[in-house]
Amino acid sequence: MEEYIDDLLRRMDDEEAGIRQCAYEEARELNDLSLFSCFQEKVTEARKVYIKTSLYFLITQLAINTREMYIADYLINRLESEESGVVLDSMLIDLSKLSEASNAHKIIPYIYHKNSGVRYSAVIALKLCKSLEAEDALLKLLTVEENRDDIVNICATLHEIGTKRSILSLTKLLHSDSAYIRSAAIETLAEIGRTDLQIVYIEALHDRNAMVKYEAVRAIYMYGDEMAMRPICERVNKIVARRRKNEVEPTDESEIIIALRFLHKFVDQEEVLKTFDKVYKKRGNLFMSERE
């Protein structure tokens, strides 16, 4: 067993990319629980950073494939035994791939770690901790965080674990100078507030940035009702009135396609029919992918 692990670790660090790739593919299939005790011994003995990160990766794959909670809990408990920022960062990213752990609250202190990479990864891993304690910690961090990427990262985790207690803090982000932050806030508010925040999504249609408007249209498509019909008609009419720059869309579906799908729910309404007619007449202003 030990020889197999040593050989796998060597192949995971091989200079040849093909050998490394095969080794990692093999590692992702690990499901033999008898390996766990050997992994534990080797982690305790390991001194080199790359050996530790590789071992923790292997243990994580074992936890994912076997769904054994005690392995996930072991990984979280090991955080306090590690001092290297590189190791902690790698461990937290690995932990974020798990579906559950009973002691996930122990991740919370790491969102305040002195190492920025560790802090960032800890916020991602905190989606394991669906508790008010974790949500409060993220909201507290949100009040002092100024870095755009870190704020967007917090929003992404609140998207997973946030409750209506997060709505006020997220709404304040809609006044941020960063379109990335405003866009992330709308996406997270939609997941948490759903139908209750339709007025927020409608107001966001008037944002100066296309990304924010896109998220607003997505939110309305998922949670909007007839109240949003006219604002969406106005948005569609504005889009088709002119030729747009051939920009990369946020996803495979463009804003106008999502908007038209929403309006199709009200296809018997005169205003919607007029909008569809205008889109047809102005179809030359659509991207080729939107005309299909």
Q: How confident is the model at residue 251 (pLDDT cuts 50, 70, 90)?
A: low
> Is 62 contained in some domain?
yes
> Is 218 contained in some domain?
no
Q: What total number of domains does the chain contain?
A: 1
Domain containing 57 equals 1-129
For position 43, which CATH number holds?
Answer: 1.25.10.10
The mean pLDDT of 9-24, rounded to a whole number, is 98
- For the beta carbon of residue 175, count every other beta carbon within 10 angstroms: 9
> Is 125 contained in some domain?
yes
pLDDT of 136 reads 98
pLDDT beyond 90 at 249: no
pLDDT beyond 90 at 108: yes
Please tell me the number of Cα atoms within 13 Å of 245 on its side-chain side. Answer: 3
The mean pLDDT of 187-215, rounded to a whole number, is 98
> Is 24 contained in some domain?
yes
pLDDT of 32 reads 98
> Is 81 contained in some domain?
yes
pLDDT beyond 90 at 288: no
> Is 221 contained in some domain?
no
pLDDT of 92 reads 99
pLDDT of 247 reads 57
Please tell me the number of Cα atoms within 13 Å of 216 on its side-chain side. Answer: 24
pLDDT of 246 reads 64
> Could you read off the pLDDT of 59-98 as tens digits, one per residue?
999 999 999 999 999 999 999 999 999 999 999 999 999 9
pLDDT beyond 90 at 287: no
